Amino acid sequence: AQSVTQPDIHITVSEGASLELRCNYSYGATPYLFWYVQSPGQGLQLLLKYFSGDTLVQGIKGFEAEFKRSQSSFNLRKPSVHWSDAAEYFCAVLIRGNYGGSQGNLIFGKGTKLSVKP
Amino acid sequence: DTEVTQTPKHLVMGMTNKKSLKCEQHMGHRAMYWYKQKAKKPPELMFVYSYEKLSINESVPSRFSPECPNSSLLNLHLHALQPEDSALYLCASSQEAKTYGYTFGSGTRLTVV
């Protein structure tokens, strides 16, 4: 079955430190992968996406992610965390099907809450 | 305009009330979605509309009734809800989902009393 696993429920890092959030997926075909960020009580903002090509993808706010097919992983990284990065981060895989056009179902991991220490 | 707008932002309703959530986008996206997000949980898909036709209903109870009046609007009609239906309801839209992902609105925080 298709699924996304984020093994870390909560991570705390110091401001200015580097960050890596882990994501593993299970999907039979070439995955279309996404990272979203959600501030409390807000909607989700797309950070970056992967669907083909270069396995290192750059996103907004200084984030990047690397797709590793051999490890079924799509980890999110940032070299220097800012206090404003504190939020919930969701990894997601697009489950494609005959839904009309290229639409599908975006399946989310359970999320990783990031706290930032001053 | 690159946004998905949801109204109202907050809604409190009784179990016998009828209310509607509204979602609007003017990006020309032809697919629109309703997701439900309980506290400290990931969003879960409820409905998908593709070209204004309902294409996915993820076994959602009939007390939730979606409607897509045109390509820019998506409504979710609510009737006889239960307290456990209290959640953040997110609307999203997409064009080529694999290429661009989904654009989410900021959600409606629904409380059923």
With a pLDDT cut of 90, the percent of chain B lying above it is 75
Contacts of A93 (CB under 8 A, 6+ apart): A2, A4, A25, A27, A31, A32, A33, A34, A106, A107
pLDDT in tens, A34-63: 999 999 888 899 999 998 888 999 999 999
pLDDT at A77: 98
Of B97, B106, B109, the CB nearest to A103: B97
pLDDT at A27: 84
Helix (H) or strand (E) holding B38: none
Residues of chain B in contact with residue A51, where contact means CB-CB under 8 angstroms, are: 98-99
Query: Where would I find the beta strands (DSSP E) of chain A?
Result: 3-5, 10-14, 19-21, 24-26, 33-38, 44-50, 56-58, 64-68, 73-78, 87-96, 104-108, 112-117
Could you tell me if B13 and B112 are in contact, meaning their C-beta atoms sit under 8 angstroms apart? yes
pLDDT at A94: 87
Answer with the residue of higher pLDDT: B55 or A91: A91
DSSP 8-state secondary structure symbol assigned to residue A60? G
pLDDT in tens, A64-118: 999 999 999 999 999 999 999 999 999 999 887 644 445 678 899 999 999 999 9
For A98, name the nearest residue in chain B, comparing CA atoms only: B55
pLDDT at A100: 47
For B54, name the nearest residue in chain A, comparing CA atoms only: A99
Cβ pairs bridging A and B (under 8 Å) = 79
- Minimal CA separation from B79 to chain A, in Å: 24
Distance CA A76, CA A14 (A): 17
CB-based contact A94 B98, cutoff 8 Å? yes
pLDDT at A12: 97
- Asked if A34 is an interface residue toward chain B (Cβ–Cβ < 8 A), one would say yes
Tell which residue, B59, B82, B78, has the closest CA to residue B67: B78
CB-based contact A101 B31, cutoff 8 Å? yes
Name the pLDDT band for B15 (thresholds 50, 70, 90): very high
Inform me whether the pLDDT recorded for B99 exceeds 90.
no
Could you tell me if B52 and B71 are in contact, meaning their C-beta atoms sit under 8 angstroms apart? yes
Name the pLDDT band for B86 (thresholds 50, 70, 90): very high
Could you tell me if B32 and B46 are in contact, meaning their C-beta atoms sit under 8 angstroms apart? no
Distance CA A5, CA B29 (A): 29
Of B45, B90, B104, the CB nearest to A105: B45
